[in-house]
Amino acid sequence: MLPTTSREWHLLARPKGWPKPEDFALREVEIPELGPGQILVRNLFLSVDPAMRGRMNDVKSYTPPFKLNEPMEGGAVGRVVASEADGFAEGDHVLHWLGWREYTVLDARGATRVDPDAAPLSAYLGVLGMTGLTAWAGLLDVASFKPGDAVFVSGAAGAVGNQVGQIARLKGASRVIGSAGSAEKVKLLVEEYGFDAAFNYKDGPVAEQLAKAAPDGIDVYFDNVGGEHLEAAIGALHTHGRVAMCGAIAQYNATEPTPAPRNLALSIGKRLRLQGFIVIDHFGKRDEFFAEVGGWLRDGKLKYRETFVEGIEHNLDALLGMLRGENTGKMVVALPE
């Protein structure tokens, strides 16, 4: 018998600074009947991403903001429990973008079938999903990485950052440096992910620690943090250095405007390229991405970690924990059946 109700997270108010529990509500709603070309999916894993914080603000961006009193969205992997769409059958597993709810009714054209035998289902939200593609395309296309480059990655123990460092190493970087927020994460970067050096940004000025970790400077900076990290990287970059500007998590919950890097003028004389990017602009290379990264995974050359939070009632805990840096690798909410 098919379910008739589902729980889903709604945004009630736009957060000022750090999101608060009262800005959200977990509501039970009726599941609509399937129309032609639609499928009903029981979500099994929900993605928790930094970009979700930006969509809580009512500002113009590359993705529309979340609507108040309507379900939030995010990546999800689930199992088809009913189908009125050609090419999808009960029991198929799919990736889609209507997460943050237990059950989803969606047009089948918005779902991609995934193979649970090729990789764990949660991996399609991380290393083989948007975060993996972000790392791969950001480093290779946006930052124009080439063998011999020295690469610095901020937020390097996160879902995107650790993949950037490993891909740089696999592609022939001369040196890979990462920053993270704890001694345990620093150890992980070096011992498990193969970074040449790493440091805890809480231990002292980033510029000083970066200078020790990369005494000969850097060619590429992959920016997940912004702020002090970006300023330090500009100072360390060689002439014609490149910055892939992926995120600025240090500023997402700021209530006052944050100062730009104070040394931005150095980018003129150094002829630096600072380029922001959005992963959706690189969807055309997903087949190439799956082939290369999937091969590294099968061969054991690329490693990844996930932080799981159990139960849809804990989605908000997972989000706040991710914004505080409590996750190692991809933050995922698991929904037991």
Give the per-residue pLDDT at 256. 67
Strand pairing partners for 307?
331
Residue 197, pLDDT score: 98
pLDDT score at 73: 94
Helix axis angle, 130-137 to 159-170, nearest 10° = 40
Per-residue confidence at 113, pLDDT binned at 50, 70, 90?
very high
Fold of 5-124+305-334: Quinone Oxidoreductase; Chain A, domain 1 (3.90.180)
For residue range 11-20, list pLDDT tens digits in order.
999 998 899 9
Q: Contact, 115 vs 261, CB < 8 A?
A: no
Return mean pLDDT, the chain.
93
CA distance 124 to 119: 8
Lowest pLDDT segment from 18-32, 59-73, 219-233, 287-301:
59-73
**Cα 101 to the center of its chain, rounded Å:** 19
Selected residue with higher pLDDT from 130 and 248: 130
Angle between helices 286-298 and 130-137 (to 10 degrees): 100
* Fold (CATH) for 130-280: Rossmann fold (3.40.50)
Q: What is the pLDDT of residue 30?
A: 97
pLDDT at 253: 57
Give every CB contact of residue 212 below 8 A, 6+ residues apart in sequence. Answer: 199
Hey, which bits of 154-201 come out as E strands? 175-180, 197-200
Whether residue 210 is predicted with pLDDT greater than 70 in this model: the reply is yes
- Residues 308-335 have pLDDT tens digits of 999 999 999 999 999 888 888 899 999 9
Supply the pTM of this predicted model.
0.83
Residue 65 in 3-state DSSP? Answer: coil
pLDDT on residue 329 = 82
The closest alpha carbon to 208, from 238, 243, 235, 183, belongs to 235
Tell me which residue of 315, 337, 324, 325 sits closest to 47, measured CA to CA.
315
Q: Where are the domains positioned within the chain?
A: 5-124+305-334, 130-280
Query: Residue-wise over 271-281: b if at least 16 C-beta within 10 A, else e?
Result: ebebeebebee
What integer pLDDT is reported at residue 266 of this predicted model? Answer: 96
**pLDDT at residue 258 tops 80:** no
What tens digit of pLDDT does each residue of 38-92 get? Answer: 999 999 999 998 889 989 998 877 788 999 999 999 999 999 999 999 999 999 9
CA dist., res. 261 & res. 228, Å (int): 7
Q: 128-162: per-residue pLDDT in tens?
A: 998 999 999 999 999 999 999 999 999 999 889 99
Strands 76-83 vs 38-48: parallel, antiparallel or unpaired: antiparallel
